[in-house]
Chains A and B, each alone.
Chain A
Amino acid sequence: GDSVTQMEGPVTLSEEACLTINCTYTATGYPSLFWYVQYPGEGLQLLLKATKADDKGSNKGFEATYRKETTSFHLEKGSVQVSDSAVYFCALKGGYQKVTFGTGTKLQVIP
C-alpha cells in the first residue's frame, strides 16, 4: 500500500538557518504530494502541493519539488523564523483518493 516516510524529529534550528525535512514515498501510479503544517493547538493546514513529476510547490518561503525518480518530496526553506516552529507532515494522495501522512517532524526555531 501507499506509505510516506519522513525524517524523525525534533529538528532544532537557530533563526535564519536553512531547513530541509526529508520525505520519501511509496505509491502506485502517480500520486499528488503535499506538505501540511500544524501549529500548536491547531488543526493541519496545507502548506504546499505538487501534482505531477518535476512540479515545484512553494508557499511562505517553503519549497518542495516532486522527484519521481527518487520518490521524494523534500521540504526546504532558506531562512527559518521563530514563527515557523510547528509540526510538518508530508502526505500523498493516491489511488481511490486516500490521503496517507508521514509521522510528522517537529521543528523548533530558537532566536
Chain B
Amino acid sequence: DSGVTQTPKHLITATGQRVTLRCSPRSGDLSVYWYQQSLDQGLQFLIQYYNGEERAKGNILERFSAQQFPDLHSELNLSSLELGDSALYFCASSVGREGEAFFGQGTRLTVV
C-alpha cells in the first residue's frame, strides 16, 4: 500500500459526460501529480500541484481541469468526455526534491 488513495477504482460513463476523479495523497506529502496512461500514449503527465498551487502543466486538455484543496486532496475533472479519454488515470504524491513519487492504484475510466 503506497498510502495514496484514488477513488473510484473504475468508472464507466457516456460520451459528453463529466466525471471527477479524487486523490488523497500520503500524509505529509505536499505535491500531487496526475498522469494519464493509455495503451497507445504511454504515461502522460497532466498536471502537478504543490501545497494548493498549480506548479507544472503537461499535456492536459482544455476539457480537463484539476485543483488541490486546503486539506491537500486533489480532484481531476474531465468534461465533454470522448471515447479517446478512456484510460487509466494515476495520481501520485511526493515530498521534497529527493523524495520519490508514490502512486495510487489508478482510476480506470471507460467512455462508451
Contacts and interface: CB of A to CB of B under 8 A. Distances in A.
A97 B55 contact: yes
Mostly, the B contact residues are strand
A99 B97 contact: no
B80 interface: no
Nearest to B50: A97
Contacts of A44: 43, 90, 92, 103
Given A43-B103, A44-B103, A89-B43, A96 B90 contact: no
Interface stretch (A13-21, A75-83, A100-108): A100-108
A110 interface: no
Contacts of B104: 43
A25 B68 CA distance: 29
Q: Is the interface of A mostly helix, strand, loop or mixed?
A: strand
Given A32-B97, A44-B90, A99-B101, A104 B56 contact: no
B45 A93 contact: no
Interface string A27-56: 000001010100000111110010100000
B66 to A, nearest CB: 14
A43 B2 contact: yes
A96 B56 contact: yes
Nearest to A100: B45
20 contacts: A34-B100, A43-B103, A43-B104, A44-B92, A45-B103, A49-B98, A49-B100, A91-B101, A93-B101, A96-B50, A97-B48, A97-B55, A97-B94, A98-B33, A98-B55, A99-B92, A101-B42, A103-B42, A104-B42, A104-B43
Given A45-B2, A97-B55, A99-B101, 6 more contacts: A43-B106, A44-B43, A46-B100, A98-B56, A103-B42, A103-B43
